[in-house]
Chains A and B, each alone.
Chain A
Amino acid sequence: MSPTARPGPSRRRSRMLLAAGTALGLAVGAALALALVLRPAIAPITPPGRDAFAPDLVRRGAGLAALGDCAVCHTAPGGAALAGGRALPTPFGTLYSDNITPDPATGIGTWSEAAFARALREGVDREGRHLYPALPYEHFTHVTDADVSALYAFLMTRRPVRAPAPENELIFPLNFRPLLAGWKLMFLHEGGIAPDPARSAAWNRGAYLVQGLGHCGGCHSPRNLAGAEEGGAPFAGGSAEGWDAPPLDASNPGAARWSEAALTAYLSTGAAPGHGAAAGPMGPVTHGLSQVPPEDVAAIATYIAWSLSGGQGGATPPRAAATAPAPAARAAAAARAEPEGATLFAGACAGCHGAGAPMAGQGRPDLSQMTDLAAPGPANTLRAILGGIEPPVDGRGPKMPGFADSFTDPQVAALTRYLRARYSADAPWPDLAPAIRTAREELSR
């Protein structure tokens, strides 16, 4: 069996911080954690076969697996579903996701439910090796026994695919797994989530799904130097695959405009009237949620709506008029300040985003409602401009061409400055050239 690593595509930044975190964990915790380092193997089992699982359990597991985005990380491009092998380039080398089909030789066919539960919640594989926190066990640790059983039933009834995961290509010392025990000692807080009896069943269900399998905080929470989520600022915004994951607390520039209904639509289709479309790593998330029972998506929406309304803090942005359409005065001022950007916008963007364009008649949002343009950094705006947007579910939805091949870097910068000036009340982003270069590099991968 190959070394086990379950990096998520949406967690590149966490892996970038992994080196520091792991080293820190080694220094502080290694001595204390010696016992934690050495974990026993769990005896292999004979693959139980499809008939060993109740159909309802498998069905429930399917929805949970979609919610947890298992297939997103554990499927290589063009490869068999869940058979792993997806490469995740990091500054420290390349990680490959594992085969989690029930193939006995190369997958998890010989894993008992106990072994599976330990991997999910504690980040230790059947043979006792520590898994990299690309597998978000700091969230999955909250998953209930019943849901672990359902996930296990779902995975063990998939088609076994013989596909050995390629060896990870990590630099020393990160290829030394016992270091991970120290990281876990500091940042893995095992255990379930206690329900809040004062709140509705939907809220509690949402809280559980968001913090557990949904692992929303994996992208939407800031991370510390050790690559772990900052417990004090849950959902204050994070990053993924070069995209900024906007805050899901009151500091989200569009917080006031998100209703539960809009969130439900957005989460399950990738688009909602009056809001920007799901893009970047959020695309696969909405694709997954499109296959999740509607009541679970609604519960997630309930919880996120509560969070956006300030339930977990986050200062409301000071800009009073942030949600209003850009006033004409701002358009004129933006055009004066950024004439080249204004020209590029008129010829390239106005066909969809200008007044009187067809999208406007279809309830698509005015750009002044795009949180990306009011975000602290330009990452998402640049990625949308350069790479465009593809609809995540059935290829149906908002679709935007990329301009990487038609615009030069200075043109992208001019357009971006204009968009910021016209559609947000925030200060201009600083020098865009390095961010554009970074976005282009990531796009060409």
Chain B
Amino acid sequence: MSRPIPAGPVLTRRGLLAAGGLLVTVALAPRAFADAGGEGGAGPAVLRPELPGSLKSTPGLAAWIHIDAAGRATVFSGKAELGQGIRGALLQVVAEALDMPPPAITLVSADTGRVPDEGLTAGSHSMQDGGTALLIAGANVRMLLMREAARQLALPEAGVETTGRGVVAAKDGRVLGYGPLAAALSLEVEAVANPPLRAPASYRSMGRDIPRPDIPAKLTGGEAFVQDLRLPGMLHARLVRGPSYGTSLTAPDMAAARAAPGVAGVVERGGFRAVVADTEWQAITAMRLAQRSASRRDLGPLPAGQGPDVLRAMPSRRINVEGLPGASSRGGPRRLVSNYSRPWLSHGSIGPSCAVALLKDGALTLWSHSQGVFDMQRATAELVGLPPERVRVIHTPSAGCYGQNGADDVTAEAGLIAMAFPGRPVRLQWMREQEFGWEPCGCGMTTRLEASLDAAGHIASWKHEVWSNAHNNRATDASGYLAAHELDPALAWPEQKPIPMPEGDGDRNANPLYAFANMEVRYRFVPEPVLRASALRSLGGHLNVFSIESMLDELAALAGTDPLAFRLAHMDDPRARDVMIAATDRFGWARRPRGNGRRGCGMGFARYKNLGAYCAVAMEVEVTPETGAVSVLRVEAAVDAGQPASPDGIRNQVEGGIVQSLSWALREAVTFDSEKRTSFDWGSYPILRFADVPGSVSVHVLARPGQPFLGAGETAQGPASAALANAIADATGLRLRHMPFTPARVKSALGPLYPG
């Protein structure tokens, strides 16, 4: 089954559509509307469960790879570049699989008109699912090319080899290019699960540090982001909204906005309001005119002054993650109970969300930085009242999102606005304060851990309880968008649902990878949302890992054991042990400076979701008791992501994850009063700046030749925050269990009697 590319503008200079002659066949699989990829999107149906990665849903090779007569390859991926460098990594994978030079490959990604539906780009699945699909699809194509070459040269298949230069060579020196070979065969075949793979020892692309292809434009002012898209006749739109989600303006002055200079029109559909103007500044000016209004709260009051512990007092549903109720009641004589929490967090993308929409000839094209262009296509179609095949969503990069920020909403809203301006592209840009006020936050969470030690200082029982709202509320139909609740009639929000294990959401990583006796893990899922929330990098994994790894240090102290030795004594997984040893060896753990009241060291470990990459982080900090300031002096991390496709890409992600996690733990909390969020700018939502980032961060990528890819983009979030708390405790004896550890809190917690 195939479908034509919907009518839509073609940005030839961006190379969004390749030159003619390219046969694009995208299998339009029936929708499963089931959780795919563990991140809650609707996702495509599984057609070939025996195939690896995303080939399960899209088994046909032609959907993934096309080789033209000149021997250039075009590769189609459903995974999107979110700033995580996935384009470069995928290119390295497919170049290796095809055994071609990366520059001879064009990668087309996340365009509903052109690429296979791979669900969301989320949950550290891009390498595991998308990378694996390209690896196997590429190997299939290489196999077919070699087979064809052998046939043409009348040699046995073993008599030919690829060379890395896009040709098949025979031992006798004869050479056939991929172009002519591809022309002689059809890729309209399904992949096989086990094509011959190139041996890791002979890798030419994978495992090497190849510069990312998207960086030069970002260093020189090239057109790199959806914000940079400038289509002929494009209009600029701004929304007219109250200060934050759950509020509305009591008397927006749309008439004043309509009369403002340059205003092409206003859109008013129920409570959904936008101004549209010829230039951005005109749109902003008109928006401010319309926004001169008081606001009111339309929903119940927010729990002002209360932290995430408010969740414990709300109705919850108990989900048994591991162990029977009461399993942890057995155990050793020495028991410890600790509670941990983190507040609601903002994604804090540096660029507020933006989208461009164009309604032309009855078809809507959306340029979006959504993580889920396929869900977007279906749900926006429903919102604007078009059949899905008349909507095309083309992923276009923006500032890093780290989960569901305003990207999906702004795209749907741009679509709504564009429906009123047929033939005119409309660029909708959320303002900074709208991003802070309206985006879904990362969930506030709280945990209670109880454990006991036996006489030998070994963990004899372990109980972990976690309270959380749903972490994934991505739209799979129109009702998941903000705008659907402003329209008249408004839609009802879909029911909030937890993501089931093994991926989990609030309970993600709540089940320790360690081998503990008498283990019991409970998820208290709180269906009623406190703040509007959705996916933020690592979901519940951040607080759960923080809790487990903090608790381990507390128990190690109780047992009088070194924190590393204590962990190793409870860990059977050799790869987990390897990253712990690698990080701490490089850190100089055995010779580390011991807590002197100000300086101290700590570590943290996790395997993300117990399915993805392994990561261990060791950290040295200095605490200034007089001010409460915490300085991170140096960080050593080790990560096992399976076969690294792009080692530097992994280092970059883990470095960034560590710094971001430190920012969460040291500074961040979304504040609110009973009516609205009060974090609306970088003054009311401070994050780490240059003066506060670590003295050094070193990330060490373990080589795992030929091992399956393990997603690494989120694996550092929990371990880094835990290592921080453990290092502070080592330095000062002060155990901080509730983030953020701001200077005022640290100073207050240490108190004037602190002997440091």
Contacts and interface: CB of A to CB of B under 8 A. Distances in A.
B287 A356 contact: yes
Contacts of A354: 288
Interface string B235-275: 00000001100000000000000000000000000000000
A232 interface: no
B626 A71 contact: yes
Contact of A358 (B292, B680, B682, B747): B680
A394 B686 contact: yes
Given A62-B752, A81-B624, A394 B744 contact: yes
24 contacts: A55-B753, A58-B753, A59-B752, A59-B753, A75-B626, A82-B626, A157-B753, A159-B756, A291-B744, A291-B747, A350-B288, A356-B289, A356-B290, A356-B293, A358-B243, A358-B431, A361-B242, A361-B433, A393-B744, A394-B686, A394-B742, A396-B685, A396-B742, A399-B683
B246 to A, nearest CB: 13
A55 B754 CA distance: 10
Interface of B: 242-243, 287-293, 295, 431-433, 437, 624, 626-627, 667, 676, 678, 680-686, 742-744, 747-748, 751-753, 755-756
A158 B750 CA distance: 13
B181 to A, nearest CB: 59
Contact of B683 (A58, A350, A398): A398
B753 A362 contact: no
Contacts of A50: 755
Nearest to A352: B681
Contacts of A82: 626
B433 A358 contact: yes
A71 B289 CA distance: 47
A329 B748 CA distance: 50
Given A81-B627, A399-B682, A355 B292 contact: yes
A80 B676 CA distance: 40
Given A393-B744, A397-B683, A399-B683, 20 more contacts: A59-B753, A62-B751, A81-B624, A81-B626, A157-B752, A290-B744, A356-B288, A356-B293, A357-B288, A358-B243, A358-B431, A358-B680, A362-B676, A362-B680, A362-B684, A391-B683, A394-B743, A395-B667, A396-B685, A396-B686
A358 B249 CA distance: 12
Contact of B288 (A62, A71, A355): A355
Interface in A344-369: 350, 354-358, 360-362
**Nearest 3 pairs between A and B by C-beta?**
A399-B683, A81-B626, A62-B752
The listed residue with most B CB atoms (<10 A of its CB), out of A59, A350, A393, A394, is A394
Contacts of B751: 59, 62
A362 B243 contact: yes
The listed residue with most B CB atoms (<10 A of its CB), out of A355, A361, A397, A399, is A361
Nearest to B286: A356
A33 B681 CA distance: 58
Nearest to A390: B683
Interface in A324-357: 350, 354-357
A402 to B, nearest CB: 14
Interface string A364-404: 00000000000000000000000000010111111100000
B218 to A, nearest CB: 24
Nearest to A159: B756
- The DSSP consensus for interface residues of chain A is loop
Contacts of A356: 287-293
A356 B242 CA distance: 10
A61 interface: yes
B290 A358 contact: no
Contacts of A357: 288, 291
Nearest to B671: A396
A176 to B, nearest CB: 35
A154 interface: yes
Nearest to A101: B626
Interface in A25-58: 50, 55, 58
Nearest to A63: B752
A356 to B, nearest CB: 4
A273 B290 CA distance: 23
A82 to B, nearest CB: 7
Contact of B678 (A71, A362, A391): A362
Interface in A279-313: 290-291
Contact of B681 (A62, A358, A394): A358
A393 B293 CA distance: 31
Contacts of B681: 358, 399
The listed residue with most A CB atoms (<10 A of its CB), out of B288, B295, B432, B683, is B683
A80 B748 CA distance: 18
A60 to B, nearest CB: 9
Contacts of B680: 358, 361-362
Nearest to B685: A396
B339 to A, nearest CB: 23
Contacts of B756: 159
A71 B288 CA distance: 44
Contacts of A360: 292
Contacts of A154: 752
A291 B748 CA distance: 8
Contacts of B678: 362
A380 B676 CA distance: 32
A361 B243 CA distance: 6
A213 to B, nearest CB: 16
Given A71-B626, A291-B747, A395-B667, A361 B683 contact: no
Contacts of A358: 243, 431-433, 437, 680-681
A357 B742 CA distance: 29
